[in-house]
């Protein structure tokens, strides 16, 4: 226990040191109070955005843009727009969905449903995307796209819940290939070459800032989280471009949003029972088979967040998780839902519902966390639970629909 505590303190010091030098993005800075979870989160995000997979890098970042735009998350839209350009994406695509290939346009319906009413996800959505034709998706591509959509939808909840959606995202333009200071994944992936901006001047503003130029290549998890020395750095001044994209250009049907899950007998929506289709018994094996290793990475995230220490005990964490799933139509037959009302105060339930179901509404401080005093790490802990519970819920609905398609 003493060794683990020392490692955690060293990891936290490392994250904070990098953050103070501009080497960690705003989301990672928020998560730094839980470094063991942060390691798991970064490893998964790095894998789906940068490592081997069926989707081209440009597609991955554009799908992330589409997902973040459903919640009007300017921070993530700008972040992935900058990344999209860095990996050689066509700047015309950033004009909106009408400018992208039809196969990406076809993904819009699944994106919309998963983001706001995931219980509507059906075999027909999967079948429409996988049908034969020049613009169809392969099953492997679609599974990676689903993981990206669910990851970014749930990350929007964390971004707004933790107040990260504030500053614009920088896109450096250094002639010597200086890595951007906002994303560990770039340094870890060796992506230190930044192309010249390709979009119109109206999309950008410039400013001067101090940035950190890493002389050594970061190994994202082993270097950062195992009490090793920080890479040697030097400070350099450079011109930096700020990419700002309007999220509304990447969505259709903007009025479509979260609605209360139907509970009346006359409604045709069926409760999703975990006993019939669960992550452990069904989702994990399917996603791991169709998208190698991602199941293990996602499972580690779920285990990491539930293992985080909390002064409020495991019962409250379980009540939070099950309450989020209940709002999304997922029920556990072996759980007494009376505990939700006993353990979660009314104000806290309002906050959880807002962040989980319509996170863009939290841009104004309508539902602050009611507990006082509450340590910053505990506040982040609640937001991490919301993010991971929502991520698993979306994955369950999408993977069940894929399973139904495969066995039909």
Q: How far apart are CA 187 and CA 180, in angstroms?
A: 8
163 HSE (CA, 13 A, CB side): 9
Count of C-beta atoms within a 10 Å radius of residue 279: 20
Tokens, residue 111: 């994106």
3-state secondary structure of 243: strand
For residue 391, which of 321, 343, 339 has the smallest C-alpha distance? 321
Q: How far apart are CA 159 and CA 165, in angstroms?
A: 6
Start-to-end CA span in the chain (Å): 50
Q: How far apart are CA 385 and CA 158, in angstroms?
A: 9
Query: Does the active-site annotation cover 73?
Result: yes
> What string of DSSP letters covers 350-363?
HHHHHHHH-GGGGG
Q: How far apart are CA 294 and CA 119, in angstroms?
A: 23
Give me the catalytic one of 14, 73, 156, 367. 73
Tokens, residue 252: 């259709």
Count of C-beta atoms within a 10 Å radius of residue 372: 6
> CA–CA distance from 258 to each of 40, 254, 328, 352, 358 (Å)?
29, 11, 9, 14, 7
List the catalytic residues. Answer: 73
């Amino acid at each position: 226990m003493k060794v683990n505590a020392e490692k955690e303190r060293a990891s936290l010091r490392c994250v904070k040191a990098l953050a103070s030098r501009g080497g960690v993005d705003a989301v990672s800075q928020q998560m730094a109070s839980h470094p063991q979870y942060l390691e798991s989160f970064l490893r998964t995000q790095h894998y789906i955005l940068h490592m081997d997979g069926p989707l081209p890098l440009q597609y991955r970042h554009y799908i992330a843009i589409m997902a973040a735009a459903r919640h009007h998350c300017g921070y993530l839209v700008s972040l992935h727009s900058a990344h999209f350009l860095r990996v050689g994406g066509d700047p015309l695509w950033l004009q909106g969905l009408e400018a992208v290939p039809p196969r990406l346009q076809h993904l819009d319906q699944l994106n919309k449903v998963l983001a706001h009413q995931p219980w509507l996800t059906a075999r027909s959505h999967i079948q429409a995307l996988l049908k034969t034709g020049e613009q169809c998706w392969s099953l492997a591509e679609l599974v990676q796209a689903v993981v990206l959509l669910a990851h970014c939808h749930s990350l929007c909840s964390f971004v707004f819940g933790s107040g990260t959606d504030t500053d614009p995202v920088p896109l450096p333009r250094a002639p010597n290939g200086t890595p951007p200071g906002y994303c560990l994944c770039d340094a870890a992936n060796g992506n230190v070459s930044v192309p010249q901006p390709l979009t119109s001047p109206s999309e950008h503003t410039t400013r001067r800032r101090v940035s950190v130029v890493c002389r050594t290549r970061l190994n994202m998890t082993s270097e950062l989280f195992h009490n090793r020395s920080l890479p040697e750095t030097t400070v350099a001044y450079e011109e930096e471009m700020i990419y700002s994209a309007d999220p509304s250009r990447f969505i259709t049907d903007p009025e479509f949003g979260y609605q209360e899950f139907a509970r009346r007998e006359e409604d045709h929506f069926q409760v999703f029972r975990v006993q019939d289709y669960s992550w452990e018994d069904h989702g994990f094996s399917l996603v791991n088979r169709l998208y190698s290793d991602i199941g293990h990475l996602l499972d580690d995230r779920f285990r990491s967040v539930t293992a985080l220490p909390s002064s409020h005990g495991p019962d409250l964490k379980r009540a939070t998780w099950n309450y989020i799933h209940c709002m999304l139509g997922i029920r556990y037959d072996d759980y007494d839902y009376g505990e939700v009302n006993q353990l979660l105060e009314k104000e806290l339930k309002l906050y959880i519902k807002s962040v989980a179901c319509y996170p863009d509404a939290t841009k104004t401080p309508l539902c602050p966390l009611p507990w006082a005093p509450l340590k910053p790490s505990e506040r982040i802990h609640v937001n991490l639970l919301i993010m991971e519970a929502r991520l698993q819920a979306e994955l369950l609905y999408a993977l069940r629909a894929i399973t139904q398609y495969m066995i039909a």
